[in-house]
Amino acid sequence: MCKKILPSLIFIILVSCQNKNRALSGPPITPKKEIVDEYFGETIIDSYRNLENLKDSTVINWFHKQQEYTQTVLNRISKKHDLVKKLQKASSRGDYKVKNSRITSAGEYFFLKQNSGENVFMLYHKKSYNTEKEILLYNPKEYKPDLGYSYIINYIKPSRDGKKIAISLSKEGEEVSEIIVMDVATKVILPKIITNCDPSGLNGIHWFYDNSGFIYQYLPIIDINDENFYLNTVAVYYEIGTDPKTTTELFSKTNNPEIDIKSEDFPYVSGHSNQGEYIFASIAGVNVYEDTFYAKTTDIKNQKIRWTPLFKKTDKIKLFVIENEDIIYLTAKGASNFKICKTSIINPDFENPEVLVKEKKDRSILDFEYRKEGLFFTTLKNGVESRLFVINDGIESEITLPIASGKSFVASYGENFYVSTHGWTSPYTLYRYDLIEKIFTKANLSPLVNYEEYNDIVVKEVEVSSYDGEKVPLSIIYKKGTLLNSKNSTILLGYGSYGASYTPFFSTAFLTWISEGGVLAVSHVRGGGEKGDAWHKAGFKTTKKNTWKDAIACTEYMINEKFTSSDHTIIYGISAGGIMVGRAITERPDLFSVAIGVVPSINLLRSEFQVNGPNNVKEFGTIKDSIEFKALLEMDAYQHLKKGREYPATLILTGIKDQRVVAWDPGKFIAKLQEFNGSPKPILLKVDFNSGHGVNDSDQKYNEEMADIFSFAFWQTGHLDYQPTYE
């Protein structure tokens, strides 16, 4: 009997393998044109430079074929379609969803709300939090309905008196927008449309102190395929009712030749004073700190703006407010974990300021709010544990938060003081804090939603020794009762750039991953801000290797602790997190089963040739400098691929309309990886032709993409429910 069964089993296995190989073979042939560059005596071969021409029909056709191939493979994964439904159900729970709340000094609420069963967020207004009645102000479906495509509201800003509101609208999936202005009382849209804007991606909208108009960022070119897109942007003042073409130019390279503003900089103007006496101009970009100037607000009306230097980026000032003639600010100068200081705005002394809050040894200062009742500030330990303090009459005391919070922010609107909390398993919650009664009251407009399926989730915070002995914070989130048997599909998520941190966030998508049996490990790698300014600089330009080496160390920890194994580990990065992903799998491909990159930056030697590239030189470096060239080459995963080496199964997502990481960047990586990979594992490129960096995508699109990612990850790490079916 055994002799008869054995051949049958062998036949079944062979057929199964043949079907699997047939399903995973056949990515499109990639057009190839090799270019050789010389940098400081070093020869660099770029095999797929031709893919950078997105105006070439053969290149776009290649992207289309990659998408068709990828979606065919992904659609064969069993249970993927069920997962889409599960993700959508979790994210749409409740009668409605609210986002982008704006509170005026009078306590009025303006917010975007999407009711159950609707597919669009509409603009609403409430006179106060306690007022039950809310008024629908605007449905974006009313905007240019005859053009054949949908617009979404991507940004709102009410005037200081709440009588008018600026509404920014963009095509779904895009960032460049147009601004309209509504009279709130009558709900009448004023006739002028302001074009060439990007308030959600740049510096927002700042209403003038007398509500006569607002300041916004003007983009001279809005074609993201134009090499001059994102260059020479201008901060302008628009007066309500006038022709948008006759705006007052406030701050720009051409308008202010006496100031060193580069074409790739983002010169912007804002207000930091409740009194409205001053306006402030900064030279911004991806840099954390900015050269900043000030002027009198009356100068705008007189059209005689004279910008006076206030502080330099070397002063490392992250936040500041103006109180009478004082500037109160958060700085990392001489304090990697930040301190809060005060000096005069008229005669500032940033070398010897008055220190209001000293640097903390074990935690960084995250946010602050200065009020007559005291100086309130929040702290952050290892990027995951937040606390709230107040200093009054020189005495510092802690205010116990209503719930444990992974990160907390403070804000004042008129007489009201607010505190927000965030956590891995608790949604964003806004509280009003009564400064007299010392009581927290919930004040966010989002409905209370019960997520019973997430009640048994465990969060473990540890520190892992990296290759050089540095302690790297690691957040491990998993289902209670998870066996440490080395068989759990585990996502290692990380970022590590711009001083930005993966502080605790509530995500029904990632919590669904966990409820399906996966583990989420968030690696707080160097290059972020989890441990203050020094943590950022430890993963910056020439020290960038620490970013992916920290991720490798955290992965090894997860394997050693038997949460997972190399056969069950997925490394996952978004945008600049692609550097971490790409270099981790090219340095240690044996450590990972799967690599996921969402709009990832990977081809760093060519980064500055993208439309957003010159700005990113401040963070990653330039090929024009011999030392920074070496650093860029080191962090370029595209250049570290080795022919015949076995790499993890890889899924990259990109958008043709991406204005931050252009689609050819990850496209080139996939092309070369498909050519070089020595293993039979799938290498897939998912391309969205109607989207960009994912900033303004719908919830439905996001859930479909997450279902693709999670099902692919579960499939490749052996989850039985997510194996592909073959016809």
Q: What is the pLDDT of residues 372-394, one digit of tens each?
A: 999 999 999 999 999 999 999 98
Q: What is the pLDDT of residues 684-717, one digit of tens each?
A: 999 999 999 988 888 899 999 999 999 999 999 9
Number of domains in the chain: 2
pLDDT at 173 (0 to 100): 85
What is the domain extent for residue 587? 452-722
Residues 6+ apart with CB under 8 A from 415: none
pLDDT at 303 (0 to 100): 73
pLDDT at 590 (0 to 100): 98
CATH number at residue 181: 2.130.10.120
Domain-terminating residue out of 249, 270, 291: 270
For helices 545-560 and 577-587, what crossing angle results, to 10°? 60
Residues 6+ apart with CB under 8 A from 83: 512, 516, 707, 710, 711
Identify whether 632 is part of a domain: yes
Q: Provide the whole-model pTM.
A: 0.93
Residues 6+ apart with CB under 8 A from 329: 311, 317, 318, 319, 320, 321, 340, 341, 342
The residue to which tokens 């330039």 are assigned: 622
DSSP calls for 612-661 = THHHHHHHH--TTSHHHHHHHHHH-SGGG--TT----EEEEEEETT-SSS
pLDDT at 92 (0 to 100): 87
Identify whether 436 is part of a domain: no
Task: Give the CA-trace dihedral at 466, 468, 470, 472, to 10 degrees.
Answer: -20
Nearest CA-CA partner of 487 in 551, 569, 556, 554: 569
| Half-sphere CA count of 722, side-chain side, radius 13 A | 25
Domain-terminating residue out of 270, 295, 314: 270
Identify whether 23 is part of a domain: no
Identify whether 427 is part of a domain: no
Identify whether 414 is part of a domain: no
Nearest CA-CA partner of 238 in 263, 283, 205, 277: 205
Could you tell me if 234 and 217 are in contact, meaning their C-beta atoms sit under 8 angstroms apart? yes
Could you tell me if 520 and 507 are in contact, meaning their C-beta atoms sit under 8 angstroms apart? no
Could you tell me if 189 and 179 are in contact, meaning their C-beta atoms sit under 8 angstroms apart? no
pLDDT at 25 (0 to 100): 60
Identify whether 231 is part of a domain: yes
Instruction: Show the low-confidence residues of the chain (pLDDT under 70).
Output: 1-25, 272-275, 727
Identify whether 509 is part of a domain: yes
The rounded distance, in Å, linking the Cα atoms of 94 and 118 is 12
* Element holding 91 (H helix, E strand): helix 80-91
CATH number at residue 628: 3.40.50.1820
486: its two tokens: 């080395």
Residues 6+ apart with CB under 8 A from 293: 259, 280, 281, 282, 307, 308, 309, 310
Q: Give the torsion sign (CA, 689, 691, 692, 694).
A: negative
Residue type, 115: N
Residues 6+ apart with CB under 8 A from 257: none
Q: What is the pLDDT of residues 494-514, one digit of tens each?
A: 999 999 989 999 999 999 999
Residues 6+ apart with CB under 8 A from 412: 369, 371, 418
- DSSP code, position 232: S
Domain-terminating residue out of 230, 254, 270: 270
Residues 6+ apart with CB under 8 A from 540: 527, 619
Q: What is the pLDDT of residues 177-187, one digit of tens each?
A: 999 999 999 99
pLDDT at 13 (0 to 100): 32
Q: Give the torsion sign (CA, 11, 17, 20, 22).
A: negative
Quick one: 366 exposed, middle or buried, by C-beta within 10 A (0-12, 13-18, 19+)? buried
pLDDT at 14 (0 to 100): 33
189: its two tokens: 């849209």
Identify whether 278 is part of a domain: no
Q: Give the torsion sign (CA, 587, 632, 580, 703).
A: negative
